[in-house]
Amino acid sequence: MNINIDDKDIKKFERDLKQFANRAYPFATKSTVNTAAFTAQKMARRDVSIKMIERNKFTGQSIQVDQARTLDVKRQAATVGSIADYMEDQEFGATKRKSGAEGIAIPTTYSSGEAMGANIRRRLPRAANKLQRIQLRRKGKKGKTRKQRNLIAIRDAATSTRKYVFLDLGKRKGIFKVIGGRRKPKIRMVHDLTEQIVTIPRNPWLKPVVDTVALQIPGMYKKALAFQLKRNGLFDGV
């Protein structure tokens, strides 16, 4: 994106600052670079909270700034971005493929303690329902049919301390939690393993912000120059 700047004040401020206070000039450029980065961070965090379903506070806090610290004008640079891998998937889109024998594990609303049948999961799975915390029962007696194998697994889990089982229900399969007693056990899906491939559509959260902030940089630069001029007693006001 090309930005055409026609601001005589900026050029004058630059010239005056370089001529009369050369040491102050790098502070103005560093201030501009960092102001732009922190402005982008603030806008990105705001937009993410509006456009995305934040299941925890980490998503917004993951958007961080690595600010410019040197006074070497040629090396000054600030970076804004997210330390969360999944935010890159949101920005550019991604395709997830299964890595094991079964499909991709997708947590359900039950795993996060939300109402059954809810269309969108808005919270993270509860600690006990996180995939890395789940211990599945070892395979026991095998039935001749899928239905028999499922019934045996459910019955055994109902009388065991390990309540999580893998069930293949045909059209759907996943990790289920068995609740209730041996007589009338019920199952609730905790992680859906039906899908072999999951496509994450592009949902840019950084580029729109950077494009917007880029248009504000000339104004930020002008203020930074004026501040340094006033600080060095070379200018009375804008």
Task: Let me know if residue 143 belongs to a domain.
Answer: yes
Tally of domains within the chain? 2
Residue 139 confidence (pLDDT): 66
Q: Do 106 and 176 fall into the same domain?
A: yes
Same domain, 159 and 215: no
- Does any domain span residue 213? yes
Residue 110 shares a structural domain with residue 182: yes
- 97 with 197: CB under 8 angstroms? yes
Same domain, 53 and 121: no
pLDDT along the chain (238 residues), means of 10: 59 73 85 98 96 87 97 95 95 92 91 82 89 79 83 89 91 93 89 95 96 97 90 66
> Is 238 among the domain residues?
no
Cα–Cα nearest to 122, from 134, 133, 108: 108
Q: Based on the fold, state whether residues 20 and 80 are members of the same structural domain.
A: yes
Residue 85 and residue 108 in one domain: no
> What's residue 3's pLDDT?
46
109 and 192 housed in the same domain: yes
The span from the CA of 146 to the CA of 238, in Å, is 79
Whether 69 and 142 map to the same domain: the answer is no
Together in a domain, 80 and 39: yes
Residue 3, in any domain of the structure: no
The predicted structure's pLDDT at residue 235: 63
Instruction: Write the pLDDT tens digit of every residue in 148-175.
Output: 989 989 988 888 888 999 999 999 999 9
- CB count, 10 Å around CB of 156? 19
26 part of a folded domain:
yes
Domain of residue 220, residue span: 8-93+201-231
Examine the domain organization and report whether 132 and 156 are in the same domain.
yes
Residues 67 and 135 in one domain: no
Shared-domain flag, residues 194 and 106: yes
Query: Does the residue 1 lie in any domain?
Result: no
Full DSSP string of the chain: -------HHHHHHHHHHHHH-TTTHHHHHHHHHHHHHHHHHHHHHHHHHHHS--SSTHHHHTEEEE------GGG---EEEES-HHHHHHHH-EEEE--SSS---EE-TTTTTPPTT-SS--SPPPGGGSGGG--PPPP-PPPSSHHHHHHHHHHHHHTSS--EEEEE-SS-EEEEEEES-SSS-EEEEEEE---SEEEE----SSHHHHHHHHHHHHHHHHHHHHHHHHHTTS----
What's the pLDDT score for residue 99? 83
